[in-house]
Structure 1
Amino acid sequence: MQSHYDRIETLVDIGAVLTYLRDLAISSGVARMSYYVKPQFENAASVATSVFSYGYDPEWLALYDEQGFRLLDPIPDRVMEFGALMTWQDAMGWKPNTSEQETCFERMREFGLLHGFGLPLYGRNGRDAYAAFDFLRHVDEVDPDAVGLIRSMAQAAHQRISIIVEYKYGGPLLSEREAEVLTWQARGKSNNSIATILDLSPDTVKTYSKRIYAKLEVTDRVGAVVKGLKLGLVKI
C-alpha cells in the first residue's frame, strides 16, 4: 500500500491522480466509480459540482446530468452527513424520501445501480468530496483488503488533489468566451449543450475546451473545473 501512497504523492496533475485511482480501483475489482468535485461549502448535488465517472451506462449519465437526476439524488449528501462508508441502499432508506427521489432510485435500480457504496473524503480548508465505488455486489461480500485499499487510496488521492489545487496553480487569463465555456462545464453541461446555449458549433466548444486545458495546465474537464473554481475563473 505504501507504494501507492508514494506514487500518488509524485503526481502533479488532477487528471493523473484520478486516472491512477481509477486504474487501481479497476485492478481491485471495482466496476464503477465516481468522484464529485464540489466547491468549498457547496453540497454534492450543487450545479457547481463536477463529476468524474467511470463504468456507468452512458444513458444513465445522460439522465443524471441532462434530466437533472443529479439534483434529486440525495445519496452523496447523505453519505457526507453520515461521515463514513455507507452503501447506496442504506443511504436510500436513511431518511424519508420525496416522490422525486423515489423516482431517481427506481431509475438507478433499472440500470443495475444496486450495490455500490459512498465515501466521504476530507481535504484541506474545507475542500471535501464524495466518491462512490461499485463491486457489483454488497460490500460485505467483497474482500475486506480490497475495500480497505480503495478507502485509503480514495482519501489519499483527494488529499493530493486538494494540495495541487491549493499550491500548484497560478492565475492564467481566459478570454471571455473561454470563461463562459468553463462556467457551463462547471455547471455540468455537456459540450453539445454548451454549444446550444452559446450558439456555437460543438467543434468550436471542443476547441475552446482544449485552449482552456492548455492555459490551466490540466488534461481534462474535471481538472479545469477544480482549478477554475480555485482561481475564481468560474462564475456560478
Structure 2
Amino acid sequence: MKENYTSYEYFVGKIAPFLLFEMEFHGLSYVVENHKNDRWYPDINPAAQVANIGLLSYFEAFCKHQFAAILNLFPSIILDFATKRGEPKIEISTVVGYGDNFKKNVGFLLAESYDFGSPKAINSLFCDILKVSPFSKDEEKTMNEIIHRRNLIVHHGGYLTHQYVSRKGPKALTVKPFKDEIKIGTDDYYTNADFLFEMAIKIVKCTVKSLKKFPEYIALDPNDDRIKAVSEMLRGIHDTMEE
C-alpha cells in the first residue's frame, strides 16, 4: 500500500481519509468472509456482528478525518465556522506546544471537540465549513437504523429494548423487548458496508467539489502541495467525475 499513496502532514496517519477508511474497510470484510459457513457457528457468522461495530467506528473516524484535513489545508475556513459555532476552544499551551506546526494540526485539534456519531451531526458540521450536507433524508434514515442496531449490540448485548420496539410501532408487534434479540448476519453486514462505503465516497466527492470552489483554493499556485493533497483525497475512488 505504501507505493499507492502520497503522504501529507494534513492527514491523520499521513494518509488521505478515504484511503485510510478503505484499508480498514477491506480488513473487516476479510474477517467476515473468513468466518462464513463456520461449522461451529452454523446459524450466524460470529464475525459479522463484531465487524459491524468496527465498521461504524471506522466510518465515524473517516468523517472526522475528512473534516480535520479540510481545516488543516485551509485554516481560514475556521473564521466563518466560528461565527456559526462560536469560538473553538483550544488551550494556549496547546497552541504554543505545536509552534510553527499549529496550522497544519488545527483541524485535528478542532475535530476532537465535535461529535460525528450521527448523520445529523455530520451534515451540520460539513454544512458549516463547506455548505454541503452529504446525507439525504432517506440516507439519514438508513444510517440512523444502522446506528440504532449497533447501539443495541454495544449497550444491550443485542437484546431489544422497550424504546427500540416502541419506535418501530405496529411493525414490531411480533417481537418482545428484553426477550428477542437482533442478529447481524453476513448479508446484513455487507448491506451496511456497501451503504457506508458509498456514503464515504459521496462525502469525499461533495466536500472536494465544494473545496475547489473556495477562493483560497482557486488562488493557489499550481505547484502548491495543497492542490496535490486535495487531489489525493480522491485517490481510491474509481469514478472521480464531479457531479
TM-score, shorter chain, exceeding 0.5: no
Shorter-chain TM range is under 0.3
TM-score for the superposition, normalised by structure 1: 0.25
TM-score for the superposition, normalised by structure 2: 0.24
Larger relative helix fraction: 2
